[in-house]
Amino acid sequence: METITLNNGVKIPQLGLGVFKVADDDSLKNSINAALAAGYRHFDTAKIYHNEDGVGQALADADVKREDLFVTSKLWDNVTTYDDTKRAFEASLKRLQMDYLDMYLIHWPSEGYTEKWRAMEDLYNEGLIKAIGLSNFEQPHLEKLLASAKVLPVVDQIETHPYFQQGTLHGLLHDLNIRHEAWGPLGQGKSDVLTNPVLADIATAYNKSTAQVILRWHLQRGEIVIPKSIHEARIQQNIDVFDFALTPAEMAKIAGLDRNQRGSSDPQDEAWLQKSTTMA
């Protein structure tokens, strides 16, 4: 597994397992066990996924040392203050059965994110979090947060796939020395990206699947990527992407597929952000 060194010196496996919408305990445990067996050591969850308990138990039951794992969780939008951020973090840590987190993210740029960041900075300085970052932050949110931040975020985890490549934000993050982490890297099944003929032709040339080509494209852009699956064969396939490389011409062909087609909520939709603070 290849790793990326974040701006604070912490190393993160470049490819991990996402567990969004995996709430069934058996499916969750089976997918984590399959991932561990395949070589995954990076796992990404969140409070709003309602599966921190299951992730924590599956990892506690596994025959893998805690220091060999990289575990991320995220602070949900209904938390809006400094004190509540600390309490929410402690609750996540308890559910995960851990005494520290490798990475903790603000899930969306909703109400109070500068106060939330201040609390996370203190948790980071106390050694309870190895790295702190953001999710779904666009340029205006980044500018506002960085104006008062004392600790530079290590990542911004944003929706990214061949039909929504985030070129401008990708470049901005590079310039800020904040790593681009891609969620929904395979399009979340909301488009025909997995059957796109350009990607299919490239996949045939390497005797790989279209999904593997897409993941390889993410990796070669320097992104951290967290594909989600509950199927053992796909979990194994998704990590089998370090034995080939796309050519510059192939990378250019994939760049040409961008439709600026977002598949999920827009972080600059203020009405949605306000609504998200009422979700739990």
Amino acid 135: pLDDT: 98
Residue among 57, 22, 17 nearest 39 (CA)? 17
CATH of residue 54: 3.20.20.100
Amino acid 1: pLDDT: 79
* 11 in a structural domain: yes
Amino acid 21: pLDDT: 80
Amino acid 25: pLDDT: 84
107 is in an annotated binding site: yes
* 245 in a structural domain: no
What is the domain extent for residue 29? 7-188+221-231
* 170 in a structural domain: yes
Contacting residues for 250 by C-beta, under 8 A, at least 6 apart: 202
Q: Is 163 a catalytic residue?
A: no
Domain count, the chain: 1
Choosing from 40, 49, 124, 163, the catalytic residue is 49
pLDDT along the chain (280 residues), means of 10: 95 96 86 96 96 95 96 97 98 97 97 97 98 98 98 98 97 98 91 95 98 98 95 96 97 97 93 93
* 198 in a structural domain: no
What 3 state SS string does 153-180 have? CCEEEEECECCECCHHHHHHHHHHCCEE
* 203 in a structural domain: no
> 38-52 burial by CB neighbour count: b if 16+ within 10 A, else e?
bebbbbbbbbbbebb
Conformation bin of residue 97: beta by default, left when phi > 0, alpha when psi is -120 to 50: left
What's the pTM?
A: 0.96
Q: Which residue has the tokens 């300085």?
A: 125
Amino acid 129: pLDDT: 98
Distance CA 222, CA 2 (A): 11
Amino acid 280: pLDDT: 87
Question: How do 3-5 and 11-13 pair as beta strands?
Answer: antiparallel
Q: Which residue has the tokens 């402690």?
A: 90
* 87 in a structural domain: yes
